[in-house]
Amino acid sequence: MFKFIDLFAGIGGFHVALSELGGECVLACEFDNDCQIVYKSTFPNTKLVSNIREITRDEINNEDSVKKTKEIRELVPDHDVLCAGFPCQPFSKSGKQHGITDKTRGTLFFDIMQIIKAKHPKYVLLENVRNLTGPKHVETWALIIASLREEGYTVSENPTVLSPHLIPEEFGGAPQVRDRVFIAAELNSTNEPVHISREAFKSSHDPHKWDISKFLNTDLEISKNKKIASYRLKNDELMWLEAWDYLVMNIDQDVLPGFPIWIDALNTTPTIHKDMPQWKKDILTKNSNFYKENSKFINNWLKKKWGINQQLITDFPMSRQKFEWQARKQFPSRENRTIKSLVLQMRPSGIRVKPATYLPALVAITQTSIIGPNIKNGIDNFRKITPFEAAKLQGLDGSIFDKADVVDSVAYKQLGNSVNAGVVKYVCQKLMKSTLEQLDFYESDFEQTLLPLEENLAS
């Protein structure tokens, strides 16, 4: 058995993944009170501290009051793996003292590095949003890599950006778009640094062939523990979808437009100003052309009234007068075309519909994915995915929220911020191959399946 610590632990995505590989968590750290409740309920025997700076600083709010390495070493149990889904704050361009790591002094990454310097675990696995690798964070990325190398770690300077939907289910994947960057480091390693291409499974896995119905429950299954009505859409929401579904099903076009349809842009002549951004000019022009091609149908459609209050579509909120059709792969023609067979989101930018193959990223706000009733037998009408279903998309057991007595709104937020346990497990099996082989936790099928892909994985 190997030991690990779980920093910025959330609701336990790292914990779940490493436990399945034979690990024992000897210390966890999580600041959010609601996450602490779930974590303690799920892992009652794990020591949990609320603030990493209780370990690394004499005064939590004083960035200069760093504990001595010896003190930190005594506070942190010995461990083989340090995991952290850390928040990323802007780094200073120049440190107050000498040394690469000191440039990160005001950030939580600095505190992670204090623990690494004190304990030097064999492996370090960090996770963050993909934006960390973007052009605005070039120096931040370089500092992270340099800080780890200064402490003797082998780590790739090329980011490993992975999403569950691009990874086959047998390797921990799931039908959810969720790009995250992983930094995998090994102490004093003679091996090549771990870098996994997001294209690793391109030749063997088609993300458009995911079957999301396997991750969904029937209404009856949900009703055993929750009131199904709490996940149903409100009357107004159903009205908006009914209006747009009428267009989708009845307009005489085999291929629906891929650009956003805006009700106020369905005019013979687009209203364009010279100071408009080009993207908006393009959308207005395309909407106008779409209208001219289908004016008779659209004019009749705009006169129809919908819902209990018999509203025109022009009476809908502006964000519901906008519609994005992104389901051409599922419906290349008019045959059986309906929103009821798709997944969708009610976004501030409009209603977006997509094929029922993989779901948009779980987000820590109110844009919970909605599934159509045709996706799975036993679903009677449009509804939001439940926290239990969302947890499965994160590689977690959804019953943790019932056990901790956490309300759905909190559960959705926690899942939106969570690390994907399946992807963590996949990365760990690459990073910790030698250790897991000794413990008989390295899956032989995993290795044999990867053999044809090694060239891609190293790219």
Q: How far apart are CA 424 and CA 14, in angstroms?
A: 7
Residue 364 identity (one-letter amino acid):
A
Q: Which two tokens stand for residue 77?
A: 């149990």
Does the active-site annotation cover 29?
no
Q: How far apart are CA 41 and CA 27, in angstroms?
A: 15
In three-state form (DSSP H/G/I as H, E/B as E, the rest C), the secondary structure along 206-242 is CHHHCCHHHHCCCHHHHHCCCCHHHHECCHHHHHHHH
Catalytic-labelled residue, pool 25, 29, 83, 88: 88
In contact, 139 and 148? CB cutoff 8 Å: no
What is the torsional sign of CA 56, 57, 60, 63? Answer: negative
Cα separation values, 362 from 110, 112, 339, 390, 391, Å:
29, 27, 20, 8, 10
* C-alpha torsion angle, residues 298, 304, 306, 308 (rounded to 10): 170
Q: Given CA atoms 426, 430, 436, 440 in this order, what sign does their dihedral have?
A: positive
7 HSE (CA, 13 A, CB side)? 29
Catalytic residues: 88
